[in-house]
Structure 1
């Protein structure tokens, strides 16, 4: 399955221009097999996304982009958020203890929201975004180097806030996923591959 792992919908992400129906239509048009909604510190879209997913017969996986003290982390497999602001390690432990998974979002983007060198000391990450559509090529390449060194899942994601950039980068998940639980299991057990959507060109690792 080709899945975009990092997307923002306008209901709970004020910096997004897209509603969920538009996102599903565009994702289908561009050849995606599923999308992930990862709003900033918010799970409010989960119920509606589940209903729309059934109506459209199209997988919509709701996660979250959590701003830890050190930087942004995308998480799947949890249904709520901590009551206090946590460090990256505390949040990763919190998610892992609940059966979820964590992915370092754009770790080297130049906006003080990436984990950067903390990747070397933090334990328990499942993956790293090595292709992020809102991040420079240089920062993505550095993320790839760290991902390979740490032997984590390499993730591609558009980090889109508009329909034009939706699906720019995505991830090939070589198993069928219908629920968030399926997606979590795939991330834990299957080697994913980041892809450039046009022509499904695979990134050479």
Structure 2
């Protein structure tokens, strides 16, 4: 099964890279599902920043494209970002990681640490080892140099192999 479990839509808001501001994504939900279907991806998780709106909108198109849609959000905590998967409602940004994870699990969701060692995004770093996470992303396509992904992969495989979270393939 092919899956991409960390996708942003046009609802994700404005990103910031140092002093530069830019849309985090400009993709329409319909285009995301069209590309997923073309590439044979069976499941996508829409994880816009601090909102489930993109996931909700994309889910409406699920049957039309035959691609399963997981509603999620990449939530900014006081210490770094956490992805919630299988959400039904928004979780407020700015809570502690522990509070955010608790709110994700109250909805029956999964809590994933994205890009834990990113120097660009606010990341949890070694906090991943003492939080009640369901998974840790060890490959993020945004970090193409491989260094950040290798740090995550090596640390997580050594310390938390059961939580290594990576859906990746080459075509």
Tell me the equivalent position of 1:132: 140
The correspondence of residues 32-181 of structure 1 with structure 2, limited to 5 A, is 32-83=41-92, 85-122=94-131, 124-135=132-143, 136-148=145-157, 149-156=159-166, 171=167
Tell me the equivalent position of 1:174: none
Matched residue SS, 2:5: strand
Indicate the RMSD between aligned Cα atoms, in angstroms: 1.8
Q: Which runs of 5+ in 1 are unaligned?
A: 157-170, 172-194, 199-205
Out of 21, 27, 31, the position equivalent to 2:40 is 31
CA distance in 1, matches of 2:119, 2:96: 20
Out of 18, 24, 47, the position equivalent to 1:15 is 24
Residues 88 and 138 from structure 1, CA distance in 2 versus in 1: closer, same or farther, beyond 3 angstroms? same
Number of positions where the alignment pairs a residue of Structure 1 with one of Structure 2: 160
Detail structure 1 runs of 4+ shifted over 4 Å in the superposition.
none
CA distance in 1, matches of 2:169, 2:44: 15
| Residues 95-115 of structure 1: per-residue CA shift (max 9 Å, x gap) | 223321111010001025110
Could you say which structure has the greater relative contact order, defined with CA pairs below 8 angstroms and 6 or more residues apart? 1
Which moves more between the two structures, 109-118 or 89-98? 89-98
Please report the TM-score for the alignment, with normalisation by the length of structure 2: 0.84
